[in-house]
């Protein structure tokens, strides 16, 4: 056997042993024998660098240093899930689904592991890229660190597709977490608080050899790609196992909601026996074609629902109520609590939402309150222990003036929150608007974070987001924690933001009620900031999904002289305030005023491409057929009830070819 064959043979053998140990949990050789074979391979690879393989088992020990984790876009967006907390929530969800799809609906039930979400890309069976969830549209490339996780296959086996993504959760098992903490305590260091945050933090360590020392695990559950060889979610889990992935065995195919609830009730009790943290169940429509029919809302898939186990609850003392001012001037009351451990973290603060909530629960300083984590993320006060209340306590008087600038607060009729109207001079509003402007989903300015924005404002270098484009390196270097390199990176990041497309700039401006989705719709409809600026309230409400409240907010924003001046400055600095010519070239108004429903399987373009073509040509995509639908684009396997409904309403049913002809 020559050297190359020997190296390849060792790699193959070590991959198999690694799979047996970390995925199947059935080792066939001792740790000592495995280490000896690994050492032999390391020596051969060192002596023969010409046979280097980026996915060799020897790279599991790490050693690569990543100074800056590159932000990369996801090929397929990583959506968040809607949450449910009761049988009734799931029943309502099932009713919504049954109205929208044809045929019997079955469900795949899976445990919802609590870790750090990850997307892995495989090309020709090799791990190409590992990216954190980030904001769902883009995340950080942590490939070097993920390669050290022994249960992540570096080379697949079987009949895997040539290119696909697989989603999962990187977790830290309780046993490994306890061992890590025991070692830290022995060294006189602070123990880590909980496995989830420790797993997430591990992915961003600069030295991958440090990550390799942590007993991280990767549990996978979702395949994404074009024309994958699977028809159901449950089948996709089996396929992923065949290809070498660690897919939890606890999944169940449920024929109806009763079987879903059986699964929920079983795991609500038995979850405490699991080796990992879990905070609920994920229920998915099993049939992938039905998933496609159901589609997505702006934030989550309509075909999946997370059922959260009842949140852990504790009681503690509310020491003081303070008030925070947001970027829009909204006032949020905050409960400052006697520190208490809750679901693995120390909780010191909880949101009280607004004056109505304080009055409704009769919350007072000095009260003993019940705290739980809503969705196990944000702590909230759910009640007061009145048996512990001081008989001399007084009801809470909500503040009438801004805690930051002293301006009298106002509250619009029908709104729950109080606002500070002093947008121009109230420091948290100034800082908040700039922080929103630079955020990831907006201008995504590299080298500039929230703390640095505060530093720049407090030092008088900027007062609004247009000022960023006038910053010079020599102004930044003297600031605290700044140096030549960080100043250079910041200026480069600000310059690069001039290429951010118009719809994201529009979102970045921070117009109240104009979120990502609304910004896209407005940018697409008006195409330039000047056209939007001149639109009346009445005109705005004719745009798809733009209601009176949003229209009033947009008109109010452009009525401000200061906002107009800021926008003119941004325009002069080269920020994108209109849709690019290249993008416009791909858009027409051919389908303007027409609403389409897409149903079935297509051969020439994918369902997502079809929807994009509709929108790029001025049409609207709807998920269900109604009297407002103009066309149903029907592919193979179109549901019979959709066909019947379209015919009964007199809606035109056209083929994929008919549609492509319409826009050609």
Active-site amino acid positions? 112
Bridge partners of residue 379, in order along the sequence: 373
Give the C-alpha separation, 435 to 442, whole Å.
10
User: Per the annotation, does 80 bind a ligand?
Assistant: yes
Q: Are 57 and 7 in contact (CB under 8 A)?
A: no
User: Per the annotation, does 293 bind a ligand?
Assistant: no
Give the C-alpha separation, 100 to 293, whole Å.
8
User: Per the annotation, does 402 bind a ligand?
Assistant: yes
User: Per the annotation, does 147 bind a ligand?
Assistant: no
Sign of CA dihedral 363, 366, 372, 378: positive
Q: Which two tokens stand for residue 86?
A: 């009761």
User: Per the annotation, does 35 bind a ligand?
Assistant: yes
User: Per the annotation, does 218 bind a ligand?
Assistant: no
Give the C-alpha separation, 553 to 566, whole Å.
17
User: Per the annotation, does 315 bind a ligand?
Assistant: no
- Report residue 352 CA to chain centroid gap: 25
Rounded to the nearest 10°, the torsion over CA 284, 163, 63, 204 is -40
Read out DSSP for 16-69?
HHHHHHHTSS--SS-HHHHHHHHHHHHHHHHH-GGG--TT-GGGGG---B-SSP
Q: Under DSSP, is residue 465 helix (H, G, I), strand (E, B) or coil?
A: helix
Count of CB atoms situated within 10 Å of the CB of 617 = 18
Give the C-alpha separation, 490 to 496, whole Å.
10
Phi, psi of 332 (to 5 degrees): -115, 120
Give the DSSP letter of residue 541: T
Q: Taking phi first (over 0 means left), then psi (-120 to 50 degrees means alpha), and beta for anything else, what does residue 115 get?
A: beta
Scanning the structure block, which residue is given the tokens 């451990």?
341
User: Per the annotation, does 426 bind a ligand?
Assistant: yes
Q: Are 466 and 577 in contact (CB under 8 A)?
A: no
User: Per the annotation, does 308 bind a ligand?
Assistant: yes
User: Per the annotation, does 169 bind a ligand?
Assistant: yes
Rounded to the nearest 5 degrees, what angle is found at the Cα of 594, between the Cα atoms of 592 and 598? 125
User: Per the annotation, does 284 bind a ligand?
Assistant: yes
Q: Under DSSP, is residue 433 helix (H, G, I), strand (E, B) or coil?
A: helix
User: Per the annotation, does 545 bind a ligand?
Assistant: no
User: Per the annotation, does 205 bind a ligand?
Assistant: no
User: Per the annotation, does 133 bind a ligand?
Assistant: yes
User: Per the annotation, does 56 bind a ligand?
Assistant: no
Q: Are 197 and 170 in contact (CB under 8 A)?
A: no
Sign of CA dihedral 201, 204, 205, 209: positive
Scanning the structure block, which residue is given the tokens 């990543």?
66
Which residue numbers belong to the known binding site for NAD(+)?
A: 31-35, 80-81, 110, 133, 169, 284, 308
Which residue numbers belong to the known binding site?
A: 31-35, 80-81, 110, 133, 169, 284, 308, 402, 405, 420, 426
Which residue numbers belong to the known binding site for Zn(2+)?
A: 402, 405, 420, 426
């Amino acid at each position: 056997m020559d050297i190359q064959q020997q190296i390849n043979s060792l790699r193959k053998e070590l991959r198999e042993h690694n799979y047996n140990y970390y995925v199947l949990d059935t080792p066939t050789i001792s740790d000592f024998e495995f280490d000896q074979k690994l050492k032999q391979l390391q020596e051969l690879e060192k002596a023969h660098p010409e046979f280097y393989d980026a996915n060799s088992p020897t790279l599991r020990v790490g050693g690569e240093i990543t100074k800056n984790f590159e932000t990369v876009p996801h090929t397929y967006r990583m959506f968040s899930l809607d949450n449910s907390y009761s049988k009734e929530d799931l029943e309502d969800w099932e009713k919504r689904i049954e109205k929208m799809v044809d045929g019997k609906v079955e469900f795949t039930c899976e445990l919802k592991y609590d870790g750090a979400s990850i997307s892995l890309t495989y090309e020709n069976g090799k791990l190409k890229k590992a990216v954190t969830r980030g904001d769902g549209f883009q995340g950080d490339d942590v490939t070097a660190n993920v390669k050290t996780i022994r249960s992540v296959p570096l080379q697949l086996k079987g009949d895997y597709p040539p290119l696909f993504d697989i989603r999962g959760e990187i977790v830290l098992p309780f046993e490994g977490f306890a061992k890590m903490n025991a070692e830290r305590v022995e060294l006189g260091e602070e123990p880590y608080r909980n496995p989830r945050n420790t797993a997430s933090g591990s992915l961003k360590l600069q030295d991958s050899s440090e990550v390799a020392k942590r007993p991280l695990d990767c549990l996978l559950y979702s395949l994404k790609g074009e024309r994958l060889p699977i028809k159901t979610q449950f089948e996709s889990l089996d396929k992923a196992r065949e290809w070498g992935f660690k897919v939890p065995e606890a999944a169940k195919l449920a024929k109806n909601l009763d079987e879903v609830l059986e699964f929920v009730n079983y795991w609500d009790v038995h979850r405490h026996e699991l080796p990992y943290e879990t905070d609920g169940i994920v229920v998915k429509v099993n049939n992938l074609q039905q998933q496609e029919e159901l589609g997505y809302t702006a934030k989550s898939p309509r075909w999946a629902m997370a059922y959260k186990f009842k949140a852990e609850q504790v009681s503690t003392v509310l020491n003081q109520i303070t008030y925070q001012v947001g970027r829009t001037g909204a006032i949020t009351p905050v409960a400052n609590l006697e520190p208490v451990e809750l679901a693995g973290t120390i909780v010191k603060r909880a949101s009280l939402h607004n004056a109505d909530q304080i009055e409704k629960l009769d919350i007072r300083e000095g009260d003993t309150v019940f705290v739980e984590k809503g969705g196990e993320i944000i702590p909230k006060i759910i009640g007061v222990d009145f048996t512990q209340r001081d008989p001399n306590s007084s009801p809470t008087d909500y503040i009438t003036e801004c805690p930051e600038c002293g301006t009298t607060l106002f509250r619009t009729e029908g709104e729950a929150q109080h606002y500070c109207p002093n947008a121009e001079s109230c420091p948290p509003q100034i800082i908040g608007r700039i922080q929103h402007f630079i955020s990831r989903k907006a201008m995504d300015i590299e080298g500039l974070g929230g703390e640095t924005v505060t530093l720049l404002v407090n030092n008088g270098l900027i007062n609004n987001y247009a000022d960023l484009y006038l910053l010079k390196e020599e102004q930044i270097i003297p600031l605290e924690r700044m140096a030549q390199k960080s100043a250079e990176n910041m200026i480069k990041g600000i310059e690069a933001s001039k290429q951010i497309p118009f719809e994201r700039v529009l979102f970045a401006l921070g117009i109240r009620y104009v979120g990502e989705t609304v910004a896209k719709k407005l940018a697409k409809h008006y195409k330039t900031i000047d056209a939007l600026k001149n639109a009346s309230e009445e005109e705005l409400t004719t745009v798809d999904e733009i209601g009176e409240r949003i229209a009033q907010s947009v008109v109010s924003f452009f009525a401000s002289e200061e906002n107009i001046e800021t926008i003119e400055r941004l325009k002069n600095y080269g920020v994108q305030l209109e849709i690019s010519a290249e993008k416009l070239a791909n858009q027409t108004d051919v389908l303007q005023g027409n609403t389409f429903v897409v149903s079935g399987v297509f051969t020439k373009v994918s369902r997502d491409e079809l929807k994009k073509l509709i929108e790029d040509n001025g049409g609207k995509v709807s998920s269900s057929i109604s009297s407002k639908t103009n066309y149903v684009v029907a592919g193979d396997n179109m549901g019979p009830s959709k066909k019947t409904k379209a015919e009964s309403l007199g809606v035109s049913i056209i083929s994929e070819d008919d549609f492509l002809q319409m826009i050609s």
